[in-house]
């Protein structure tokens, strides 16, 4: 936070002794942070806003219903800052989330990110069939994003599923959606029986 205050001061911002907010040429440093009305997003947005206020920025949190935020905020790109989640899918394809052609609806480039080199890498990764080469391409893309800071990545949530001890054959692995936990449901079982080889032969 000390570094952030120093950067603001060096850029001509001064912290008001009255409000505690940074000001520059009569303008108060602040913005609205929009998010959806799910408990974890609201809690995260309030935590982020609290850190910005502690720094000296006048940040307000706007909470929208899931339908309203999609129609009135995300699709028209009507936000100062947006706290939202991404579900990439089982097949890793970041094109829709980061390519510059996806900045407008129905694209999902919500950061409005533009970088020619990143665009090239995303196109190459999408066409690459070799998984090792694709991962290397995405690693190069990730380095560009890390340097450009178009977004702040806060966390990846963990979902815990409680399985009865007597239920066998469950293999969850990495889940993209809640329904993915049933992908190998045909292998689940409660008990096993020994079968003589003569009865199992085909």
Average pLDDT (179-193) is 85
Task: Please state the separation of Cα 174 from the chain's center in Å.
Answer: 16
- Percent of the chain's residues with pLDDT above 70: 96
CATH of 1-85, one of 3.10.105.10, 1.10.10.10, 2.40.30.10, 2.30.140.10: 3.10.105.10
Global pTM value:
0.80
Query: Which pLDDT score, from 0 to 100, does residue 202 have?
Result: 57
**For 99-111, how does the pLDDT look when each residue is reduced to its tens digit (9 = 90+)?**
999 999 999 999 9
Q: Report helix, strand or coil for 169.
A: coil
Alpha-carbon separation of residue 73 from 26, 38, 62, 151 (angstroms) = 28, 16, 10, 17
The H or E element containing residue 60 is: strand 58-64
Query: Which pLDDT score, from 0 to 100, does residue 197 have?
Result: 72
Sketch the domain layout of the chain as residue ranges.
1-85
**For 8-64, how does the pLDDT look when each residue is reduced to its tens digit (9 = 90+)?**
999 999 999 999 999 999 999 999 999 999 999 999 999 999 999 999 999 999 999
Q: Which residue has the tokens 């009507």?
A: 78
User: Would strands 58-64 and 30-36 be described as parallel, antiparallel, or unpaired?
Assistant: parallel
Q: Is the pLDDT of residue 176 over 80?
A: no
CB 138 within 8 A of CB 120: no
Please state the three-class secondary structure of 78-126 as a single string: CCCEEECCCCCCCCCCCHHHHCHHHCCCCCCCCCCCCCHHHHHHHHHHH
CA–CA separation, 141 and 55 (whole Å): 31
Average pLDDT (152-175) is 85
Classify the C-alpha dihedral 81-86-92-97 as positive or negative.
negative
């Amino acid at each position: 936070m000390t570094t952030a205050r120093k950067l603001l001061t060096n850029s001509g911002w001064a912290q008001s002794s009255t409000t505690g907010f940074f000001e520059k040429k009569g303008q108060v440093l602040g913005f609205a942070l929009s998010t959806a009305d799910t408990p974890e997003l609201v809690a995260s947005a309030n935590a982020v806003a609290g850190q910005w206020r502690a720094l000296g920025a006048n940040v307000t949190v706007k909470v929208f219903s899931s339908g309203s935020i999609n129609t009135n905020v995300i699709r028209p790109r009507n936000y100062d800052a947006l706290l939202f989640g991404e579900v990439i899918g089982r097949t890793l394809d970041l094109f829709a989330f980061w390519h510059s052609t996806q900045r407008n609806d129905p694209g999902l480039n919500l950061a409005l990110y533009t970088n020619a080199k990143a665009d090239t890498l995303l196109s190459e990764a999408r066409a690459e069939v070799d998984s090792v080469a694709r991962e290397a391409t995405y690693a190069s893309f990730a380095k560009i994003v890390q340097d450009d800071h178009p977004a702040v990545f806060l966390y990846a949530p963990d979902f815990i599923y409680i399985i009865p001890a007597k239920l066998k054959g469950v293999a969850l692995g990495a889940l993209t959606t809640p329904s993915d936990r049933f992908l190998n449901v045909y292998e689940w079982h409660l008990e096993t029986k020994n079968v003589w080889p003569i009865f199992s032969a085909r």
